[in-house]
Amino acid sequence: MGPQEPSPLVPTGSYWYRPVRMGSMTLYCRVVATPDGPFTVIASADAVLASGWTADPDFLLVRLRLSGTAFDIDLHPYPDISSDPESNCLDQALAAVSAYYQGDGTPAQQVPTHQPATAFHTAVRRALHDIAYGHRIAYAELAAAAGHPRAVRAAATVCSHNNTALFIPCHRVVRRDGTPGGFLYGTAIKQSLLTREAESQIRFSVVFRK
């Protein structure tokens, strides 16, 4: 029996968020179903601010506040996000999630993201961003790639505080012995992502050799 095709992404909710203290900026959110469970994306018109395998947008909003994104938010129904031309970043992100589950990880790493950051955070996130689909590195390698080879624990902390899961692929960082290590959304999902990417690369290699 061959591998099952990924289930299609099915919108399970669509909301918009009106920031009280961020001028006229609007945040858009959608929850979609994936083979690894519900996946939520929160984006401005320009960048993804938060994303992850949860059906609860409030979980991500709490993480935004804890990371230093300070604003009050009122939640209102937003029934048809396609009617707003400024939601194009969310549209891009959702298309990238769909492509990822069809075996193409490139679009996910082309989605713009924004997170509050020090110079060290920025260096580590750039190193994370550069980990190619289907590849994985150890935490020590991540620290070295960020230019801080002795800051392994601090680099791991940046991974754990990553608010834009999938688009900044912190799931591709593993322990030195090759085991997955921690992941905000659970080790099972992290292992599923790594396995999915590895199997996709194998299938691509077989097709390419033919």
Select from 142, 141, 146 the least CA-distant residue to 122: 146
Q: Are residues 44 and 95 in the same domain?
A: yes
Q: Are residues 132 and 205 in the same domain?
A: yes
Select from 69, 82, 101 the least CA-distant residue to 30: 82
Q: Are residues 167 and 189 in the same domain?
A: yes
**Tens of pLDDT along the chain (210 residues)?**
343 333 445 444 444 444 433 445 577 888 899 999 999 998 887 889 999 999 988 899 888 888 766 554 444 334 444 445 555 788 899 999 999 999 999 999 999 999 888 899 999 999 999 999 999 999 999 999 999 999 999 999 999 999 999 999 999 999 999 999 999 999 999 999 999 999 987 765 544 445
| Full domain range(s) for residue 105 | 11-110
Is the whole-model pTM more than 0.85?
A: no
Q: Are residues 94 and 143 in the same domain?
A: no
The count of domains in the chain is 2
Instruction: Return the active site residues.
Output: 170
pLDDT at 15: 47
The answer to whether residue 187 sits within a structural domain is yes
The answer to whether residue 26 sits within a structural domain is yes
pLDDT at 203: 61
The answer to whether residue 1 sits within a structural domain is no
pLDDT at 11: 46
Domain boundary among 92, 110, 128: 110
pLDDT at 150: 97
Helix (H) or strand (E) holding 208: helix 187-209
Total residue length of the chain:
210
What CATH number is attached to the domain comprising 165?
1.10.10.10
Q: Are 133 and 203 in contact (CB under 8 A)?
A: no
pLDDT at 202: 73
Q: Are residues 90 and 30 in the same domain?
A: yes
Q: Are residues 89 and 132 in the same domain?
A: no
Question: Looking at 139-189, which runs of residues are DSSP E strands?
Answer: 173-174
- Report the SS3 class of residue 80: coil
Count Cβ atoms below 10 Å from residue 120 Cβ, excluding itself: 16
Q: Are residues 50 and 100 in the same domain?
A: yes
The answer to whether residue 134 sits within a structural domain is yes
Q: Are residues 92 and 175 in the same domain?
A: no
Query: How far from the centroid of its chain's Cα atoms is residue 183's Cα?
Result: 12
The answer to whether residue 4 sits within a structural domain is no
pLDDT at 29: 84
Q: Are residues 106 and 125 in the same domain?
A: no
Helix (H) or strand (E) holding 34: strand 27-34
